[in-house]
């Protein structure tokens, strides 16, 4: 499908269907009143993408070449939107801390209003990514100023992208689409069993439920993005890698979580954007580190090690939480 749709749309599609697991599991857990599992699994998916998957991708790329380059403007736009989504999760926590737990109505209004706004921002972001500023995300798309001199790095990425496309696809578009949809349908049937088994697993093996929701579920759910992102990083398609990792986190924070809040609103399940103070701080420092590492438009294996180290520290903290 990537050969037919192009790198930008392929990255978006990969993030969307990769997050289908989170959406299905989130809805199943929400309908079973497992609010804590919903929140920790959503937060864990964000952390898994920007720390674990991106970190492994940087390490894998660093094993092939000394340094990898990617479009810094697109990466900064994506990381800035991720920062906005992070801030919108901090505000409900700050409100809860300021007024106390008694004002549930105010928290519900903030959560639902913010969710509607975030869904609008996500739609605008898709238009920005696929239409008005597609040249930032795809090295083969010409920039708006035709007389502008392209950098050597850009020309090299274009040449590599064109050479990679000479390899014929192993499946036709129809077969790939059917396979993708079939896997998604099978996943939806497995989601109910997965959520129902969390309680028994936590009790039998003495695993904290926050650790299951924040670490174990996202690792399984993000397996598709993990493999694809590492593979693309090794092929020096860093724009696609950033699109999968950061784009998937953006999709969860600005689409999946707000969507679940609205579904909970409609079905009478009280899901808000309020996360515990510790979880909010963890998300903030993770986004801060990711923004710091990708703002120069370059990556190496050391940056990947930094991301993986923070993820392991967070995992350790939630194991003893």
State the pLDDT at residue 18.
67
pLDDT tens per residue across span 210-256: 888 888 888 877 777 788 889 989 988 888 888 888 888 888 899 89
| Residue position matching structure tokens 């007024």 | 99
Residues 182 and 186: their CA atoms lie apart, in Å, by 6
Structural Rg of the chain based on CA atoms: 20
State the pLDDT at residue 149.
45
Residues 231 and 63: their CA atoms lie apart, in Å, by 12
State the pLDDT at residue 148.
44
The DSSP symbol for 299 reads E
The DSSP symbol for 135 reads G
Contact between 114 and 254 under an 8 Å Cβ cutoff? The reply is no
State the pLDDT at residue 145.
46
Each domain of the chain, given as residue ranges in start order, spans 2-144+151-320
State the pLDDT at residue 94.
86
Give the torsion sign (CA, 23, 29, 35, 40): negative
Contact between 107 and 95 under an 8 Å Cβ cutoff? The reply is yes
Residues 157 and 241: their CA atoms lie apart, in Å, by 14
Q: Which residue, among 48, 51, 46, 28, has the nearest Cα to 38 in the 3D structure?
A: 28
State the pLDDT at residue 304.
94
Residues 86 and 189: their CA atoms lie apart, in Å, by 31
Structure-token pair, residue 261 = 């809040």
State the pLDDT at residue 62.
92
Residues 55 and 61: their CA atoms lie apart, in Å, by 10
CATH 1.20.1420.30 for domain 2-144+151-320, yes or no, is yes
Residues 277 and 204: their CA atoms lie apart, in Å, by 28
Residues of the chain falling short of pLDDT 70 = 7-8, 11, 14-15, 18, 101-102, 137-167, 192
């Amino acid at each position: 499908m990537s050969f037919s749709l192009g790198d930008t749309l392929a990255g978006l599609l990969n993030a969307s269907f990769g997050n289908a697991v989170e959406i299905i599991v989130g809805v199943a857990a929400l309908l079973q009143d497992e609010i804590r599992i919903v929140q920790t699994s959503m937060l864990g998916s964000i952390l898994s993408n920007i720390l674990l998957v991106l970190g492994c991708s940087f390490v894998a790329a660093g094993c092939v070449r000394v340094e990898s380059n990617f479009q810094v403007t697109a990466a900064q736009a994506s990381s800035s939107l991720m920062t906005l989504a992070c801030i919108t999760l901090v505000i409900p926590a700050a409100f809860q801390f300021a007024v106390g737990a008694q004002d549930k109505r105010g928290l519900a209004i903030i959560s639902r209003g913010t969710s509607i706004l975030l869904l609008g921002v996500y739609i605008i972001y898709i238009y920005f990514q696929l239409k008005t500023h597609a040249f930032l995300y795809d090295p083969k798309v010409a920039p708006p100023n035709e007389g502008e001199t392209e950098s050597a790095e850009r020309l090299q990425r274009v040449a590599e992208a064109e050479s990679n496309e000479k390899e014929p696809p192993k499946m036709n578009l129809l077969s790939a689409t059917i396979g993708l949809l079939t896997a998604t349908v099978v996943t939806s049937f497995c989601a109910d069993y997965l959520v129902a088994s969390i309680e028994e697993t936590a009790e039998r093996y003495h695993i904290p439920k926050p650790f299951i929701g924040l670490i174990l579920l996202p690792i399984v759910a993000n397996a598709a993005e993990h493999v694809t992102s590492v593979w693309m990083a090794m092929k020096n398609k860093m724009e696609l890698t950033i699109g999968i990792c950061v784009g998937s986190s953006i999709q969860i924070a600005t689409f999946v979580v707000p969507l679940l809040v609205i579904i909970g609103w409609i079905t009478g399940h009280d899901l808000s954007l309020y996360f515990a103070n510790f979880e909010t701080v963890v998300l903030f420092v993770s986004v801060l580190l990711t923004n710091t590492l990708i703002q120069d438009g370059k990556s190496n294996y050391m940056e990947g090690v930094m991301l993986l180290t923070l993820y392991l520290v967070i995992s350790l903290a939630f194991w003893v939480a």
